[in-house]
Amino acid sequence: MIKELTYFRKDLFYSLIAEAAAVANLFYLQSFYQLILLLLSHLIACLLMVPLIFPLLLKRYKRYAKRITFLLISICFLMFFPGYLLLLSVFLYLLVSRKKRVSARIESFSLSEFLASSVSLKGRAMGEAPLYLLQKSGGLRGKEVDLLATLILEIKNPRLLNNAAGILSSQYDELRLSVFSSLTRLEKSIQERISLLSERLKENLPDEEKADVLFKLAQNNYDLVYHKLVDEELEKLTLQKAEDYLLQAMKVKQDAEFLILMSKVQMAKKDLTSAEKFLISAVELNRLHPTRYAPYLAEIYFRKGKYGQVVELLSKYARDLKYSMNPYLAYIYEFWIVNDAGSSK
């Protein structure tokens, strides 16, 4: 317990001193200024105590950081000295509890508990590294294999989807069947969107709306290839469908998003020259933010073996990449700019 307290020693000491000063002012309260000093000392003690409690809370409560902080400060300040003693007791209790949790031996990682938490995973495309290890580690039991498959398919990261396809040969029947079912559902959802959009295309739509439907058809066909949901023999045909829809859409309306998607389609077809041409056309058509096109252009240069141009391009937009909320762009910045990986190639 003493060793645990040393980590918080400084802030805890100042908090206790501030509260002691408030108590001293209460006993010798003779003027309005002393009352102000009392309240100020008590507030400082509370403000120093709350940050000591917050790191000890369980992770699932930390996403409510602002609410919990406001609540704790309010309790401490409004209840005066009993409130401070209450927070001090909570701090000591959490400190002891954390020591027991840390010292407890971890026997296994429960996917059931992980999925039962309040963390939202849908649409995420980062932080899945532990899943790769879990998939390869084996030793999963009971419903955990099904939960793992569900978790992989919920994230919809292309690399994880490829891994999920690899699980189809797993020795675990539950995992194999679950992954097959999940992949089938994902493909079915895309195919259903394609079917509905195709029906809408038969209607007498205004030009603007028709172009958007054609774009969505192209996007869904591209997604089938992007997520590896079509056989290799059908990839070229599916990409050609996406390209044809985009060409029809661009006859109706000029849009930078159409050109960016066309560039992705050409990259998937390994036609890097056309991919670069369409991407540059998108930039010329509309003043796009660098994060919308620079990574794709860098990928084209990389595939062409023009590593110097990759570094030059990414260095030009280093600031935009560095402060982007997209984790992949932050990784690109770290790899090519901070580590200057491209210069050694």
pLDDT digits (tens, 9 = 90+) for 172-218: 666 677 777 777 888 888 999 999 999 999 999 899 999 999 999 99
The identity of residue 10, as a single letter, is: K
Share of the chain above pLDDT 70, in %: 68
Looking at the whole model, is its pTM more than 0.75?
no
Contact assessment for residue 120 and residue 147, using Cβ atoms and an 8 Å cutoff: no
Mean pLDDT, rounded, for 221-239: 88
**pLDDT tens column, 29-53:** 778 888 888 888 888 888 888 887 7
* Residue 112, pLDDT score: 46
Give dist(CA 182, CA 198) in Å, integer: 24
Burial class for 315, CB neighbours closer than 10 Å (0-12, 13-18, 19+): middle
Binned at pLDDT 50, 70 and 90, residue 63 comes out as low
**What is the residue extent of each domain of the chain?**
2-103, 114-186, 203-286, 289-345
Whole-number pLDDT of residue 264: 93
Query: Degrees (nearest 5) of the Cα angle 320, 325, 328?
Result: 85
* Per-residue model confidence as pLDDT tens digits over 1-24: 444 455 456 778 888 888 888 888
Which of 220-228's residues contact partners 24+ apart within 8 Å by CB, and which partners?
220/190, 220/193, 220/194, 221/194, 221/245, 222/261, 222/264, 222/265, 222/268, 223/190, 224/187, 224/190, 225/268, 226/158, 226/268, 227/156, 227/158, 227/161, 227/186, 227/190, 228/158, 228/161, 228/162, 228/165
The pLDDT value recorded for residue 276 is 93
For 249-273, write each residue's pLDDT tens digit.
Answer: 999 988 999 999 999 999 999 999 9
- Which of 7-21, 158-172, 215-229 has the lowest average pLDDT? 158-172
Which contiguous run of DSSP H or E holds residue 98? Answer: helix 80-103
Domain range 203-286, its CATH number among 1.25.40, 1.10.3430, 3.90.320, 1.10.1330: 1.25.40
For 35-79, what is the HEC assignment? HHHHHHHHHHHHHHHHHHHHHHCCHHHHCCHHHHHHHHHHHHHHC
